[in-house]
């Protein structure tokens, strides 16, 4: 009797389980972002702004270093009180400069991240629509896959749709 019950318990999951086939594809999301028209514009735009900001920061940094050298060279000439005042003034200028530079870099980073998130949400909508239209169950990022058949790579198809549907950032 126990054997019959064990056999029934063993066979029930076999009869109940249905075989489902899932349609799985993958895409290189980084490639889509870098190669798409809008994605490359976002990258170029913020790279140029970042380069200009860093250049301006370096110029201002150089000016402050020159002021510091000048002040050090005048140390023996100036009265101690005057030297201390100029030194404190220079320290304040350095602090203000550091705070402004950090704030500008932080703001630029936040703005770039915001635009990128917005772009990614638009891509996600395209991915959802693409999955529904092509009866795809799962779209994986190619970074999550060690190797896969090239016929399930939909990067180029999605890139074409992204370029067609997203025009502005």
pLDDT higher than threshold 70 for residue 7: no
Instruction: Tell me, yes or no, whether 142 lies in a domain.
Output: yes
Q: What are phi and psi of 154, to 5 degrees?
A: -110, 20
Domains: count for the chain: 1
pLDDT higher than threshold 80 for residue 21: no
Contacts of residue 86, defined as CB under 8 A and 6 or more positions apart, other chains included, come to 71, 78
Q: Which domain holds residue 106?
A: 22-165
CB atoms within 10 A of CB 84: 11
With both helix axes pointing from N to C terminus, report the angle between 155-165 and 37-73 in degrees, rounded to the nearest 10: 80
Question: Would the pTM count as exceeding 0.75?
Answer: no
Instruction: Tell me, yes or no, whether 71 lies in a domain.
Output: yes
CATH of the domain at 111: 3.30.910
Give the lowest-confidence range in 38-52, 73-87, 96-110: 73-87
Residue 151: C-alpha distances to residues 131, 145, 147 (Å): 16, 14, 12
Instruction: Tell me, yes or no, whether 15 lies in a domain.
Output: no
Instruction: Tell me, yes or no, whether 8 lies in a domain.
Output: no
């Amino acid at each position: 009797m126990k054997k019959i019950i064990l056999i029934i318990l063993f066979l029930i999951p076999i009869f109940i389980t249905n075989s489902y086939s899932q349609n799985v594809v993958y895409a290189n999301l980084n490639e889509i972002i870098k190669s798409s028209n809008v994605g490359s514009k976002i990258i170029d735009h913020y790279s140029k702004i970042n380069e200009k900001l860093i250049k301006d920061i370096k110029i201002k940094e150089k000016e402050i270093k020159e002021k510091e050298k000048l002040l050090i060279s005048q140390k023996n000439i100036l009265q101690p009180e005057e030297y201390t005042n100029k030194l404190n003034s220079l320290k304040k200028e350095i602090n203000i400069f550091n705070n402004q530079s950090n704030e500008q870099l932080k703001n630029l980073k936040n703005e770039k991240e915001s635009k990128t998130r917005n772009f990614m949400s638009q891509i996600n909508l395209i991915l959802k629509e693409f999955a529904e239209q092509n009866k795809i169950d799962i779209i994986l990022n190619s970074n999550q896959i060690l190797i896969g058949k090239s016929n399930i790579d939909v990067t180029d198809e999605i890139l074409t749709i992204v370029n067609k549907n997203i025009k502005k950032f």
